[in-house]
Amino acid sequence: MKISIVLGTRPEIIKFSPVIRECERLGLDYFILHTGQHYSYNMDRVFFEQLELPEAKFNLDVGSGSHGEQTGKMLIGIEDVLRREVPDVVLVEGDTNTVLAGALAAVKLGIAVGHVEAGLRSYDREMPEEINRVLADHCSDLLFAPTEKSKGILLGEGISEEKVFVTGNTVVDAVCQNLEIAKRKVSVCEGLGVDDGGYFLATVHRQENVDNEGMFRGILKGLELVREEFGFPVVYPIHPRAEKQLKIFNIEVNGVKIVEPLDYLSFLQLESNARLVLTDSGGVQEEACILGVPCVTLRYNTERSETLDVGANVLAGTDPLEIVKKVGLMLNKKNCWENPFGDGKAGERIVQTLREKFG
């Protein structure tokens, strides 16, 4: 059995890390193909080093561009590698353009596709990610659903049950494994001048939020009001896209501690010690839930509905007063919810399923 792991963004590196470690542990024949969707491989190399992962064998360095241009370049590059390497199965993870390109390139060559984190739905077709995840699910041979709920969604869309495997979410494995590494290597709170449990953490980066001036201003005003209302410092590691839009819209932010983007281990430690998280990131919603940190989502929908079901998360949208209201609600809740994303052995289950299917 030969496995190709196709990734291109930092969240994919994080969520694939448990699968990669399991392949290493078992001495399996596999290789990593990095598309360079968000950053060049050289910029992401620090991620591989921090997480103590082997290097990518191939890197396409596709870079940014329109959705069509980026996906097209990746299709060409991935197809070329797959023709030469001839793996038995291609693994993709999540909902990025890399996922769509990897799945399409493989299926057109008659190579089996395994989609990790299958069955997530926001039911918002204006999100590029929603299109990617739906298309990837419907051309995959193995769908690794994180929860029974996501399995039910797949079955409801007519996907054969024999293709669907409930494994838990690799984010649980990744948080547990990588938090241990973080504790050995970094101490971020001291450097930022905040106390454990004495600050809110904010992340805002999604296209629909930061490219829309009204929504972006609403979120930032909400963060300012949250600081005034509850007295906790609000730490906001700013995404390059958001920083660019701040300048374009000429927005001044007061009362929010904006800091440079953090490496993953520092961010994970900051997240685990926060009093509350405000975010528009799907992955951060999951991580906060797993870490027992209350979450307020700065969106009107989420594909991580399990976090809502267990009471770990609430939707606030982008209205400043609603953001303040939802923060107050979550601060008054006890963070004793049950983690809905599994027991931290998703990576093992995924690799075991591949071994059973492909020998």
Task: Give residue 317's identity as a one-letter amino acid code.
Answer: G
- Give me 52's structure tokens: 């103590």
- Ordered by where they begin, the domains of the chain are 2-169+342-358 (3.40.50.2000), 187-331 (3.40.50.2000)
Indicate if the pLDDT at residue 63 is higher than 90: no
In sequence order, what are the beta bridge partners of 65? none
205 catalytic? Reply is: yes
- Tell me the average pLDDT across 70-81: 96
Average pLDDT over the chain, rounded to an integer: 94
- Cα–Cα distance list, 294 to 92, 136, 264, 311 (Å): 29, 31, 20, 9
CA angle 228, 232, 234 (to 5 degrees): 85
pLDDT category at 37 given cuts 50, 70, 90 is confident
Nearest C-alpha neighbor of 114 from the set 358, 354, 359: 354
Residue 47: the pLDDT is 86
The DSSP-derived string for 145-180 is ESSHHHHHHHHHTT--GGGEEE---HHHHHHHHHHH
C-alpha torsion sign, points 205, 207, 208, 212:
positive
Nearest C-alpha neighbor of 324 from the set 212, 232, 213: 232
Determine how β-strand 2-7 pairs with β-strand 89-93: parallel
In sequence order, what are the beta bridge partners of 58? 33
Q: What would the pLDDT profile of 101-133 be if each residue is shown by its tens digit?
A: 999 999 999 999 999 999 999 999 988 899 999
pLDDT category at 263 given cuts 50, 70, 90 is confident
Rounded distance, CA 143 to CA 126, Å?
A: 24
Residue 359: the pLDDT is 82
Dihedral angle of Cα 242, 125, 61, 141, to the nearest 10 degrees: 140
Residue 39: the pLDDT is 67
Q: What would the pLDDT profile of 203-234 be if each residue is shown by its tens digit?
A: 999 889 999 999 999 999 999 999 999 999 99
Nearest C-alpha neighbor of 35 from the set 111, 105, 83: 105
- Tell me the average pLDDT across 229-257: 94
Starting from the edge strand earliest in sequence, which strands make up the sheet with 276-279, in order? 257-259, 234-237, 200-203, 276-279, 295-297, 313-315
Residue 40: the pLDDT is 67
- Tell me the average pLDDT across 127-155: 97
Indicate if the pLDDT at residue 273 is higher than 90: yes
Pick the catalytic residue from 34, 38, 115, 205.
Answer: 205
**3-state secondary structure string, 264-300?**
HHHHHHHHHCCCEEEECCHHHHHHHHHHCCCEEECCC
Residue 275: the pLDDT is 97
| Percent of the chain's residues with pLDDT above 70 | 99
Q: Which residue has the higher pLDDT, 25 or 190?
A: 25
Residue 300: the pLDDT is 96
pLDDT category at 189 given cuts 50, 70, 90 is confident
Rounded distance, CA 34 to CA 18, Å?
A: 17
